Structure 1
Amino acid sequence: MRTSARFDRGHTDDLMSFLAASPSPYHAVANVAERLEKAGFRQVAETDAWDGTSGGKYVVRGGALIAWFVPEGAEAHTPFRIVGAHTDSPNLRVKPLPDTGAHGWRQVAVEIYGGPLLNSWLDRDLGLAGRLSLKDGSTRLVDVDRPLLRVPQLAIHLDRSVSSDGLKLDKQRHLQPIWGLGDSVRDGDLIGFLEQEAGLAAGEVTGWDLMVHSVEAPAYLGRDRELVAGPRMDNLLSVHAGTVALTAAAASEGLDCIPVLAAFDHEENGSQSDTGADGPLLGGVLERSVFARGGSYEDRARAFAGTLCLSSDTGHAVHPNYAERHDPTHHPRVNGGPILKVNVNNRYATDGSGRAVFAAACERAGVPFQSFVSHNSMPCGTTIGPITAARHGIRTVDIGVAILSMHSARELCGADDPYLLTNALVAFLEG
């Protein structure tokens, strides 16, 4: 992957399989862990003492995962090269009292997670997935990946104003999915249904983190199949690319850095959690890696001072129907290579020196890249990049892949771009 980037349909096929198999952050982490295990990485528990041996290791905490590879002979002050991403996506999540309904309809009570395009969840066949917490303290993943729920839109005959005034959705009243007929309390029992689906005894589940997902499979789109439509590209596209890149870098010879994948949860609602980028997870793992190799606080400071992070998240491709919403001189296009995100007000962490780092990685990989800035009259989004830079004092660069339909239940990217991004990440992680 180091010499020249060339579109690899097999890579994109693999991404599509990863998206389909990862309907929740917990499933995404489990799938990343399985891939790491096949590449020779081993899981370490945060409650155990860590050793300073070389090789690949990873930590799982809920919907987050940190993985790193220590090359032979790495010193305690060896710097890290980090690819940061996030596992969560905007969606609808099940409330603590899930069974509701009215007028003979069984419904599921949901809460809005993050900032989804609400209309994109209407009239879709939806499944249900996530994590079940059991009486014995263990957890079990569950995935009902078949048409189970639906958020029905009101017929236009009952709301003629939608044609003139646009669709207006009340988050509390209009987004509760139906999943059958009957009395909501007597016939509901969503958790009992999921216990059966997971092969558990009745009453064994005492807690849950559940969310809906579209059951429509990812697919190539377009006359020449040069586009990909699928769910959760923001930001499992980057998680997948980072996983592939880390395992490729771990197989490289002569590494002078420690490559890291940091896949956080809760980016879509501010990152302030024990598994989010604004929590202590990444800093704790990096510090323990230094200390496990016999390092001191001085070694930790030296390692962090030389560390670089690429915060990889999806960004906005220029929209053909709304070109005026984009900066007139920065029009990222799909299949044009990864984008470098810049915002002088630090909504993105990139500066001039960071641009040089990313440009060098892309040049080594033979990958073109594009620049993105927001229209001055439009608010700019943000990522885990500024959070990582500020919390850990780590030089950070914001990058990603340009997509359309961001935060929709089903997003759109170029079929070439995931592979081009991965090439650039490999070159970066190899130092």
Structure 2
Amino acid sequence: MQQFNQQLMDFLGASRTPYHAVAQMVERLEQAGFVGLQERDAWRFESGGRYFTTRNGSSIIAWVMPKAGRLEESGLRMVGAHTDSPCLKVKPAPELHRNGYLQLGVEVYGGALLNPWFDRDLSIAGRVSYRRTDGALEQMLLDFERPVAVIPSLAIHLDREVHTARTINAQTYLPVILGQAGEKLDFRALLKHELEAQGVSGIDQVLDYDLSLYDTQAPALLGLESEFLLSARLDNLLSCFIGLDALLGSNTDQGALLVCNDHEEVGSMSAAGAQGPMLAHVLERLLPEPEARQRMLARSMLISADNAHGVHPNFADRHDGNHGPLLNAGPVIKVNANQRYATTNETSSIFRDLAAQEEVPVQSFVVRTDMACGSTIGPITAAEIGVRALDIGVPQFAMHSIREMAGARDSWNLSRVLRRFYVQTSLGG
């Protein structure tokens, strides 16, 4: 478990954006012998072959072909997660010069908790598109790595009602300070300079970018017995890592698949999101004949892994009294009568049985009946491809904050259950 958590923290620290997360996953898959396939090429598969493909550089699907029999006879054991997290993104024309300071305008991505973004050492990372001096267009991942920005709080002396009445205006309160104004800032020129400083040559002009702010504080274990994990982007890179670790560690002979989609935090409606056609396109190429594909899906199951709300000791009244998951007390099955989660009594029973085989405890989460329930890629994927599905997750605190908190044992335990799932010969039904 200690080795697992160290690898997890290394992954979280390096995965500043969905692009960086997918790059990390590609590296691990290639090291394990998986073959990368380009969507524009013809695909050919071998029995027991291991493959992956990406879309937009921010979503990834990896899969293992069964070693014996055909997919329509064995089905697929599928795990799903998402690569994106709420954050602040740099606007297309971000330069601000006000009162002697250089600032960047930002846009809020997803349902971020905004207060924790103040007074943090922030850096910038993402993907940059540029034209080379020979006229070719290229893209490159960029990470400033060092702290370069901050959003200072307003002193309490100038905001006496900060504890009682203030709300955050995302347009006016969140522009970050980069430095003191000298010459006018040309942000694209700054990106060109930073890329060149990192060894990229032959750049004529930066054309565009998709860049996010992130907290430079590294992931850490916390607690008297190091029982807690703290990091940015636990929702939901934690599940991406767990799913990947389970796939690589299962050595399965069954048909197995991991899908990690971008854009879940903003509704999943994109070419690379769960409401888009990426997974369906891969399945169509695995089994082009529609009836065979439907037979395969009828023998398949998807486990949607996305973190759950642990019961906060200071806010226990925000939970249903019988459904308050505890950190380090096992993965959580998420249930909602209105189909905000994809769990059914059949799929939850299968998961409980898998967990029992690994001697891993299981918890349940149901939102209070007088509160709105969030959702995941589980119901979306189930509706898109017609597969039975289950929503589970590791319990955590501070979801959508700049720094989140989970139990150090829960991720390891969930990985063990998912490994068992990947090798399971029968899923019932």
- TM-score tier (shorter): over 0.9
Residue 346 of structure 1 aligns to a residue in which SS?
coil
Structure 1 segment 53-64 matched on structure 2, within 5 A: 53-54=46-47, 55-62=49-56, 63-64=58-59
Quick one: which amino acid aligns to residue 59 of structure 2? A
Report the Cα distance in structure 1 between the residues aligned to 2:67 and 2:55, rounded to whole angstroms.
27
Quick one: which amino acid aligns to residue 199 of structure 2? G
Residue 212 of structure 2 aligns to a residue in which SS?
strand
TM-score under structure 2 length normalisation? 0.94
Asked whether the equivalents of residues 338 and 370 of structure 1 are also in contact (C-alpha less than 8 Å), the reply is yes
Distance 1:122 1:267, change over 3 A: same
CA RMSD of aligned residues (A): 1.4
Quick one: which amino acid aligns to residue 309 of structure 2? H
- Residue 379 of structure 1: CA displacement? 0.9
Report the Cα distance in structure 2 between the residues aligned to 1:360 and 1:303, rounded to whole angstroms.
22
Q: Deviations over 1:206-225 (max 9, x none)?
A: 12110011000011111111
Asked whether the equivalents of residues 130 and 137 of structure 2 are also in contact (C-alpha less than 8 Å), the reply is yes
Q: Counterpart in 2 of 1:196? A: 196
- Residue 289 of structure 1: CA displacement? 1.2
Quick one: which amino acid aligns to residue 16 of structure 2? P
Q: Deviations over 1:230-257 (max 9, x none)?
A: 11000000000000111122x23xx3x3
* Alignment match of 1:84 (pick from 64, 73, 80): 80
Q: Tell whether 2:29 aligns with 1:36.
A: yes
* Gapped regions of structure 1 (runs ≥ 5): 1-7
Q: Tell whether 2:334 aligns with 1:341.
A: yes
Quick one: which amino acid aligns to residue 147 of structure 2? P
Distance 1:203 1:171, change over 3 A: farther
Q: Counterpart in 1 of 2:161? A: 161
Q: Counterpart in 2 of 1:238? A: 239
Q: Counterpart in 2 of 1:416? A: 409
Report the Cα distance in structure 2 between the residues aligned to 1:72 and 1:48, rounded to whole angstroms.
24
- Residue 60 of structure 1: CA displacement? 1.0
Report the Cα distance in structure 2 between the residues aligned to 1:410 and 1:376, rounded to whole angstroms.
28
Q: Which has the higher contact order (CA 8 A, sep 6+)?
A: 1
Q: Deviations over 1:347-374 (max 9, x none)?
A: 1010111111111211222211100000
Asked whether the equivalents of residues 339 and 402 of structure 1 are also in contact (C-alpha less than 8 Å), the reply is yes
* Alignment match of 2:305 (pick from 283, 300, 312): 312
Residue 406 of structure 1 aligns to a residue in which SS?
coil
Q: Tell whether 2:343 aligns with 1:350.
A: yes
Report which stretch shifted further, 187-196 or 340-349. 187-196
Report the Cα distance in structure 2 between the residues aligned to 1:64 and 1:198, rounded to whole angstroms.
25
Asked whether the equivalents of residues 127 and 142 of structure 2 are also in contact (C-alpha less than 8 Å), the reply is yes
Q: Counterpart in 1 of 2:184? A: 185
Structure 1 segment 88-107 matched on structure 2, within 5 A: 88-107=84-103
Report the Cα distance in structure 1 between the residues aligned to 2:109 and 2:415, rounded to whole angstroms.
28
* Alignment match of 2:273 (pick from 267, 271, 276): 276
Asked whether the equivalents of residues 102 and 185 of structure 2 are also in contact (C-alpha less than 8 Å), the reply is no
Asked whether the equivalents of residues 102 and 184 of structure 1 are also in contact (C-alpha less than 8 Å), the reply is no
Asked whether the equivalents of residues 106 and 187 of structure 1 are also in contact (C-alpha less than 8 Å), the reply is no
- Residue 73 of structure 1: CA displacement? 2.6
Q: Deviations over 1:226-283 (max 9, x none)?
A: 111111000000000000111122x23xx3x311000000000000001100000001
Report the Cα distance in structure 2 between the residues aligned to 1:382 and 1:58, rounded to whole angstroms.
26
Q: Counterpart in 2 of 1:321? A: 314
Q: Deviations over 1:376-401 (max 9, x none)?
A: 11111100011011111011100000
Residue 239 of structure 1 aligns to a residue in which SS?
helix
Residue 163 of structure 2 aligns to a residue in which SS?
helix
Report which stretch shifted further, 190-199 or 388-397. 190-199
Identity of aligned residues (%): 44
**Number of matched pairs:** 415
Asked whether the equivalents of residues 81 and 260 of structure 2 are also in contact (C-alpha less than 8 Å), the reply is yes
Quick one: which amino acid aligns to residue 83 of structure 2? T
Asked whether the equivalents of residues 51 and 62 of structure 2 are also in contact (C-alpha less than 8 Å), the reply is yes
Q: Counterpart in 1 of 2:427? A: none
Quick one: which amino acid aligns to residue 75 of structure 2? P
Structure 1 segment 216-227 matched on structure 2, within 5 A: 216-227=217-228
- Residue 187 of structure 1: CA displacement? 6.3
Q: Tell whether 2:291 aligns with 1:298.
A: yes
- Residue 297 of structure 1: CA displacement? 1.9
* Gapped regions of structure 2 (runs ≥ 5): 425-429
Structure 1 segment 262-273 matched on structure 2, within 5 A: 262-273=259-270
Report the Cα distance in structure 1 between the residues aligned to 2:183 and 2:380, rounded to whole angstroms.
43
Report the Cα distance in structure 2 between the residues aligned to 1:395 and 1:185, rounded to whole angstroms.
56
Asked whether the equivalents of residues 107 and 184 of structure 1 are also in contact (C-alpha less than 8 Å), the reply is no
- Residue 430 of structure 1: CA displacement? 1.2
* Alignment match of 2:419 (pick from 396, 420, 426): 426
* Alignment match of 1:382 (pick from 370, 375, 379): 375
Distance 1:187 1:261, change over 3 A: closer
Residue 106 of structure 1 aligns to a residue in which SS?
strand
Following TM superposition, where does structure 1 have runs of at least 4 consecutive aligned residues deviating by more than 4 angstroms? 186-189
Q: Tell whether 2:365 aligns with 1:364.
A: no
Asked whether the equivalents of residues 99 and 184 of structure 1 are also in contact (C-alpha less than 8 Å), the reply is no
Quick one: which amino acid aligns to residue 412 of structure 2? Y
Report the Cα distance in structure 1 between the residues aligned to 2:64 and 2:403, rounded to whole angstroms.
34
Q: Counterpart in 2 of 1:391? A: 384
Residue 260 of structure 1 aligns to a residue in which SS?
strand
TM-score under structure 1 length normalisation? 0.93
- Residue 205 of structure 1: CA displacement? 2.1
Q: Counterpart in 2 of 1:4? A: none
Distance 1:139 1:187, change over 3 A: closer
Asked whether the equivalents of residues 144 and 197 of structure 1 are also in contact (C-alpha less than 8 Å), the reply is no
Quick one: which amino acid aligns to residue 61 of structure 1? R
- Residue 146 of structure 1: CA displacement? 1.3
Report which stretch shifted further, 192-201 or 239-248. 192-201
Report the Cα distance in structure 1 between the residues aligned to 2:281 and 2:186, rounded to whole angstroms.
47
Q: Deviations over 1:100-138 (max 9, x none)?
A: 231111011111000110011110000110111122232
- Residue 186 of structure 1: CA displacement? 4.3
Asked whether the equivalents of residues 127 and 215 of structure 1 are also in contact (C-alpha less than 8 Å), the reply is yes
Report the Cα distance in structure 2 between the residues aligned to 1:190 and 1:315, rounded to whole angstroms.
40
- Residue 169 of structure 1: CA displacement? 0.8
